[in-house]
Every structure is written in structure tokens, then in C-alpha cells.
A and B are shown apart, each in its own frame.
Chain A
Amino acid sequence: MRGVTWALAGPVRRTLPWRALGAAGAVGLLIAGVPRLTGAQPNPWQTLVLLRGIALVGALGLAFLLDDPARHVTAAVPTRRPVRQALRAALVAPLVALWWTAVLLLAPPASRPPAAGITLEAAVTCVFALAGAAAAVRLRDEPRPGPGVAAALLVSAALAPLLAPESWALFVPSADERWAAAHDRWAVLLVVAVVGWGVCGPEPVARRRRRATAARAAGGAG
């Protein structure tokens, strides 16, 4: 099985939506570099908004990661969908990490928020995009659900700061005393997103078949 997964790495790498990822990465780096290019001195809140926006740009790129025009063909391959999705994520993860590091280094150092906190926020946004893409793949028959996922992500990103309960304090400035507590909640959201992705990963057919197999096995034993 591991051998098959390794053998899949090459073809999967070729089917990744590199143009969407590349465009998102380039736009993100461009936004991060604007203060340096223009010599502006943004205040900490502006830098924080900038970095949150860049995280959203990255997540918009990742919303297209699970687009697979050949999904109806690959449904039949022995490697299960969670493995294939994880492989896609694993292939881009190092690049995303590099990109985010570059973004953090490009951001104006004087007003940069704590790296750990903002990285956690970015990770939650990105994993939510992936979970959303996985849910779209799971619930719909669309081979390329990316545009819809990206639209949903944008709408929820616009609504979240408006509708999230004030007591959660998710979108606080870094000088706020609730910053640490807020990032405990961000960590919980990360877990929620990962679990959501995990739940949406498997092919529904495969699960049913497994249940059927298990039932048959139980019948055979009994």
C-alpha cells in the first residue's frame, strides 16, 4: 500500500492546481511586500489585518487543492480518498510553510504580531478551506468544487468577524490582553477543522461497502 502511495505522488503532483496555488501565493507575497515597496509604516493593527488577509488569500488558493477533474475515474483505484487527499496536502505543505515564512519575513518587522498566534490563525483558515473542499467533494458530485468553496470561504471570512460572539474575541489586536485566550480558541477551531476534514474525507461508497463486508464477516462468524 505504501508503495502505491509513493507511486501516486508523481501523478498527483502533476494534477495539482498549480496555477491557482501559484496565483494565490504570488498575490499573497505581493500584498505582504506592498508596505516595503511603498515605504509605508503600517500600525500593528493594519499589519495584523494585512497578514490575516494574506492567510485568506492562501486559503483561497488551497480551496482549489482538492479539485480533481478525474475524480470519477480515480474513485475506483485501491488507494482510498483520504490517502489521496492527504497526499495532495502533503505535497503542498512544505511550499505553503515556506510561503508563509516568506510572508512573515516580508511583513513590516516593527509592527508584526506574534508569529505563533498569527500562524495559528493562518493554519485554521487554510485547514478550514481544505475541510470545506473535502465537504464539497463529499457532498456533491462536482469534480471541481473549488470556485464554490472559495466563494463560501470569502463569504464566511466576511461574516465571521461580524457574527462571531464578542466573548470569543477571535479577531483581537495583538496588544489585547485576550490575545492568548483567543488563540486557545483558535486552536480548538483548528481541531474542529481537522476533524471536519477527516469526517468528510472517505468515499461514502467505500464506507458502506466496508460496513457490508463487516456485516458479512459477522454473519460468517455467527
Chain B
Amino acid sequence: MSAVLEVPAEAGSPSRGGARAAVLALARFEARRLLLSVPVAVAFVGYVVWIVWHGRNTWDGYPALQDADRATQNMPMLVGLAVLLSANLAVLRSWRHGTESRFAALVVSPWSRTAAHALSVVPAALLTAVCVAGQFTREALKPGAVGHGSPAELLVGPLTVLLFGVLGVLVARLVRSAWAAPLAVVCLLFLFVLGTGPSGTDGVSWLAPVVTEPSTKTLPSALLGRPAAWHALYLAGAALTLAFLAVLAAGGRSRTVKAGVALSLALALTGGIAQAARMSPSPELTAARERASVSPEKEQTCVERGGSRYCAFPEWTARTGAWAGVVDEVRSLAGGSAHGQRLVVRQRLDARYGLEGDAALAPSEAAHQVTVGTSWGGNRVPEFSTAVAAVLVAGSEKASGGMCDGRMVTVMWLSLSWQDDPLGALRRVRLDDSLSGSAVVLSPTDPLTMTEGQTDVVRRLLGEPRAAVAQRVKAHWAELTSPGVTTARAAELLGVKGPEKADSCEE
């Protein structure tokens, strides 16, 4: 009994430090409840499961970290929505249970309690930061990783959780009804998550917490031109503004609160205006993009490997070994002068449209030069392999583009036979994923075409023992690679049944 009486006696003379300690204690308590609430717990479990499951095969094991950082941004929005819901219900708990009037007897005023609720969102944001860091580190540790991540892009996930959570607190202070948060969640889902909201790359679209670009191509990190740092500042300012507004709405009228509202609003506005101003790329960025697209040789560093030259943008030099592996495999299967042919493998990209659009690369006209793109792994390997084979057979990418005769059989066999699963690679390198009929064959630049007859012959060749076919390829190299050789003749030279129908590209 005496203990019960002592508590109000102590609370009767609140000191400034005591109130602060009370706010922190309440924030700790609410943070624990928030993290253990069903929606947030389910969201975090789902998020971690997604990270583990999704991270196994991202970018086929060859991530570019300037893409991997942006890939951490979308899922935290769902976590943020769960935090919004739970934080809102937590603020309204005392009102729903009719204990609001009892709290009036405490030292902690309503606005201090609101501040505690706003603070209670911070651990959820920190936990998100841990998850984001884990996801990114996992990509960065993959042996095939290249490029640089941006800390500002990585901050977007945790800041989104903070923003949404604080929004939940503010909504609870403005609308004292439990239905407001679920409806707000659905509206935010529509605006930001489901992709039904405004899209585009103007200043307004950057007001959304997560800005996704229409293009999925990989660019050097210096050419991205995303105002990531300003966006992170904008998000931080917006979250702080909402938090101070919630405290203000709960009756906090102290000078700190007013100054906080003004300062955080200034932060958010600075970030918002600065990111909108950087929407149109600066002249330097445009020039750099132009230079990288039109004359990449000025930007690249070249290395010699196994008698060929590999030129890559600085962030990709670690990947030249993987390219050299493919070139060596294909070249070892070729005959004649192609067997020892020195190739130039040049990395090319079209950055002139930034991330707003994709542009196909024009085939290179230089002799014995092969183009390689910025991504690697998965389908990119057989595509590059086909381009190498086509250049070895036809002499240049430009010449291989119009190739429409029996040489295509040799190209595809060179490209595929050394791979682990040649038929699977054939299927993947063809646009329609088929193993019969005519089809378009993808390559880093202009695609090639295979007729129905060529497809049949290549499939039969891939069924033959590799060493025997390789011997025949080398023996008949000159005839197999002479322009105008028919598919039937190529099949005859290589010792398999020819096509049923006459060979013509118009099929």
C-alpha cells in the first residue's frame, strides 16, 4: 500500500530529466510492443524470408551493386505499412480502452506520450536497416559482384519505414478512429506499392518514398544520375516533420517543438526541391553519358588475356576473366585462322537516355571486335558466346547480322557445344524459348535469325559427341564459313542429316 502511495508523491515534482526519462521508458516499452504486434512481426518474418529466398538467384550471381542497392527499397514499404498500422493502433489504444482520462493524472503529458510513440518507430526502422544491410552485403559478397552501392539508396528502406510509422502516429492524433489507419494503408498501397499511382520521372514522382525507374539496364554508377542523397534528405526531413506535427497536434507547444517543425520542414523542402532540380541531367552528366555511349574506348581500361584484348569500364574490369573464359572456349573449337584469332572484346552501353529508356546497341563495324553488355550470368552467357562465335565466323558483328546461310549452323554449334547444358542454352538464347522452328537468336547487339532447318541441324549436332564434331568443324572450316554455304551442305560436312526443307531465310 505504501508503495502505491509513494509513486504519486514522487511524480508530483517532475523534473525535466524525469520527464525525458519517462518518455524514453515509454518509447522503449512501445517499441517492444510494436515489434511484437502481429502485423509488424508478420511483415518482418515475411521480409526476412523474402530476402533469403529472393537473394539466391538475383542477377544470376553477377550483381552490379549500383542496382543491388535500389533492389533493397521496395520490400521495406510493406514493412512500413505494417508499422503504420500498428503504431496507429498503439496510439489509439488508451482511447479505445477508455484509459485516456487516467493518463491525465500522470506526469507524462499527451504530447510527450505522442513523442514516445514517434520514437517507438525508430527501432523498427533500425531493424529494417539491418535487413537492408544484410541483403546488400549478401549481394556484395557474391564472387561475381561489381560496381558500387550508394549509401543514400540503402537509406531509403529504413527511412520509408520511419516515415510510414510516424505517419501512423500523426494519423492517430488527427483522426481519433481505428478505421483511419487501415484505409490509409490501402491508399498508400495504391499510391506507392501496386504501381497504380503516378509514374514518370518528373519532380513530383520523386516525392514518393521509393522511385523506380522504367529501365532495368545496368549503368556505371557515375552515370545513373539519381539524386539519391537529396532524396534521403527529403525522406528524413519528411519523417521528422510528420513526427513534430504529431507532437504539435497532441498539444506540444514548446519552443523546441515549433523549432523542430520549422527545421524539419526546411530539411524536407530542401531535399524535395534539390532532387526536383536534379531531374534533368546536368550538362556534365549528359556529356559523360554521351562519351560512355559513343566513344567508350576513352573511358575504358583494357587488359590482355590469352591473346585477346578485353576493354571494360573501370567498375567491370574484374569481370574480364569471365568473358575471357567464354572467348577461349569458343575459339578453341574454331578452326583455320579463327582458332588463333585475336579478338577485341569491348564493353558497350547506351547511357544517353539514363534509366528512362532502353536503347538497342548497334553492332560494331570494327573487324574482330565483340560487344559485351553490362550484365552477366544466366542468358547473357550464351548470348555473348553466340556473338563471339558469329564474329569468329563472319569477321565482324556488322557482317554477322545479315548472315542467312549454313554458317549459322557453325555459329550456333561453336556458341553452345562447350556449355554445360547446350540444349538448355539453345532454348534460352532463342527469343521464344523454343527448340524447333525458326526463331530470333539474341546477342548483345542485333539479334541473329535461325531458320527451321538450321534449328533441326543444330539440335542434331548437339546430340553428337562433341570431339567428333569439333574435328569435322576444324577439317572443313574454310567451306563451313564461306558465305553462301547452304544448311544442307553444312549438315553434310558435319555428318548429320540435313534439313527437310530448302534453306531460305524467308521461311
Contact = CB atoms under 8 A, between A and B. Distances in A.
B38 interface: yes
Contacts of A61: 179
A31 B190 CA distance: 9
Contacts of A20: 177-179
Interface string A76-101: 00000000000000000000000000
A31 B38 CA distance: 27
Interface residues of B, number: 28
B190 A152 contact: no
Contact of B180 (A23, A63, A144, A152): A23
Interface stretch (B82-90, B137-145, B372-380, B416-424): B82-90
A150 interface: yes
Interface in A157-178: 158-159, 162
Contact of B38 (A42, A146, A152): A152
Given A60-B186, A151-B39, A159-B42, A24 B194 contact: no
A144 B82 CA distance: 21
B189 A147 contact: no
A191 interface: no
**Chain A interface mostly helix, strand, loop or mixed?**
helix
Interface stretch (A6-14, A45-53, A179-187, A214-222): A45-53
Nearest to A20: B179
A60 B179 contact: yes
Contact of B183 (A17, A49, A60, A158): A60
Contact of A150 (B78, B96, B182): B182
A20 B92 CA distance: 15
B179 A64 contact: yes
Contact of A146 (B86, B179, B194): B179
B196 interface: yes
B371 to A, nearest CB: 34
Contacts of A42: 196
Interface residues of A, number: 31
Contacts of B186: 27, 31, 53, 56-57, 60, 154
B178 A150 contact: yes
B306 interface: no
A37 interface: no
B187 interface: yes
A50 B197 CA distance: 10
- Of B81, B178, B181, which is in contact with the most chain A CB atoms at under 10 Å from its CB? B178
A146 B85 CA distance: 13
Contacts of B81: 154, 158
B44 to A, nearest CB: 12
Contacts of A63: 182
Contacts of A152: 38
B474 to A, nearest CB: 48
A56 B185 CA distance: 11
Contacts of B183: 23-24, 27, 57, 60
A19 interface: yes
Contacts of B180: 23
B46 interface: yes
B155 to A, nearest CB: 24
Interface string A1-40: 0000000000000000101100110010001000000000
A143 to B, nearest CB: 9
A151 B179 CA distance: 10
A159 B42 CA distance: 9
Interface string B401-441: 00000000000000000000000000000000000000000
A24 B175 CA distance: 14
A72 to B, nearest CB: 13
Contacts of A23: 177, 179-180, 183
Contacts of A154: 39, 81, 85, 182, 185-186
Interface string B252-282: 0000000000000000000000000000000
B46 A159 contact: yes
A158 B78 contact: yes
A46 B182 contact: no
Contacts of B187: 27, 31
B234 to A, nearest CB: 24
Contacts of A27: 183, 186-187
A116 interface: no
A63 B181 CA distance: 13
Contacts of B196: 42, 46, 49-50, 53
B76 to A, nearest CB: 14
Contact of A151 (B78, B89, B195): B89
Contacts of A115: none
Nearest to B187: A27
A155 interface: yes
B350 to A, nearest CB: 28
B80 to A, nearest CB: 12
Given A151-B38, A151-B86, A155-B39, A60 B182 contact: yes
A221 B180 CA distance: 56
A53 B46 contact: no
Interface string B59-87: 00000000000000000001001100110
A53 B38 contact: no
Nearest to A56: B186
A221 B81 CA distance: 61
A150 B181 CA distance: 9
A50 B190 contact: yes
Given A49-B194, A159-B46, 7 more contacts: A31-B190, A53-B190, A144-B96, A151-B38, A154-B186, A155-B39, A155-B43
9 contacts: A23-B177, A56-B186, A64-B179, A146-B178, A150-B182, A151-B89, A152-B38, A154-B182, A155-B38
Sorted from nearest, which 5 A-B pairs have the closest CB atoms?
A147-B178, A20-B179, A150-B182, A60-B182, A27-B183
Interface of B: 38-39, 42-43, 46, 78, 81-82, 85-86, 89, 92, 96, 177-183, 185-187, 189-190, 194-196
